[in-house]
Structure 1
Amino acid sequence: MSAEAKTLTEVVTRLRRALRTSIRTDYPWESLPMAQVELLLALDEHGSVRVGELATLLRLAANTVSGLVQVLVENGLVTRAPDPSDRRVAVVALTAAGRLKLDDWGRAHEQRIGDALDRLAPGDRATVRAALPALARLVDHLASPELDAAEADVDAHPAPVRVRR
């Protein structure tokens, strides 16, 4: 592993740990496990989705997704219903309560990260801002390793940073 990859791995790991810890401390009401949040985010982005498709999107086993869906159904955050086109499979959708919970989660994280960014020196904030498009492309490459070099032409086609509202 290159020194750059090692450093990025360490920083991302520390960032995730710090976010989890600070959210639990600063927003104790926010208790959704990350796997559930990721499922809700997938539904928010893709709409009603079959359980198998969710498993593919999340890169999880179908039985793992079924378990997550069951917990979220019990908590009223998603619905699971037969697919009208194939009643053998279930379609999962975000409920109004699920959308509110996801919005609360997003606001808590945005607030926490915003507060931390505000404490950085202006130059560091600018550096973080400038790195966001490249980090977004890195995420895309990790999520879709088949992207070819032409799609990754940083200078010609900078990737937009998607911000969920």
Structure 2
Amino acid sequence: MSAQASSEAGTARTTGAEPDARLLTEAVTRLRRALRSSIRTDYPWEALPMAQVELLQVLGEHSPARISDLAARRRLAQSTVSGLIGQMIGSGLVTRDVDSADRRASVVALTDAGREKLAAWTTAHERRIDAALAALDEGARGAIVQALPALFQLAETLGESAGDTRPE
């Protein structure tokens, strides 16, 4: 941890939750940005927008799925998801078919190319994060691993509180 980040973290611990929230927001933002940047440097073929990756991840667990279900899971407007799915169909990553349970609705499913892209994306990101973790000292790695359950709980709590708001 840099001296500035360490100093900010120390200040956050002593002055209350607001600085903690600010620092966590900054850390998450920096991690996402650094990961996307490093992936594009290490794996120049990776150009899939994050919104599409997130839909592939949902479809990897829940396929086939209706657009409305995908929108609800990602907390996005159905029109946004529909547009993303249209792009993904054009790229050959997903297919859209009639829902056998309700002929008026459609379902989206991963294609073989979509499954391969998702697997490659996941492997590339896991390798990159693994290498970064290996570069940290044992104490920092341990702190990150120890924080994972709390981070998942925080994400779940944020997701539950966001359930009362309208999608983007």
Fold shared by both chains (TM-score > 0.5): yes
Structure 1 runs not aligned, ≥5 long = 148-165
Task: Report deviation, 1:46.
Answer: 1.4
The residue number in structure 1 matching 2:73 is 57
Number of equivalenced pairs: 147
1:38 aligned partner, one-letter code: E
Structure 1 SS opposite 2:47 = coil
Q: Aligned partners of 1:146, 1:100: CA distance in 2, in Å?
A: 32
Q: What is the alpha-carbon root mean square deviation over aligned residues?
A: 1.4
Structure 2 SS opposite 1:47 = coil
Higher helix share: 2
The residue number in structure 1 matching 2:129 is 113
- Within the candidate set 58, 83, 92, 1:42 is matched to 58
TM-score (normalised: structure 1):
0.85
Query: Does 2:23 align with 1:16?
Result: no
Q: Aligned partners of 2:38, 2:150: CA distance in 1, in Å?
A: 26
Percent identity, aligned pairs only?
Answer: 56
TM-score (normalised: structure 2):
0.84
- Within the candidate set 136, 140, 152, 1:136 is matched to 152
- Whichever of the two has the greater Rg, that structure is 2
Query: Does 2:115 align with 1:99?
Result: yes
Q: Aligned partners of 1:55, 1:125: CA distance in 2, in Å?
A: 35
Structure 2 SS opposite 1:32 = coil
1:95 aligned partner, one-letter code: T
1:134 aligned partner, one-letter code: A
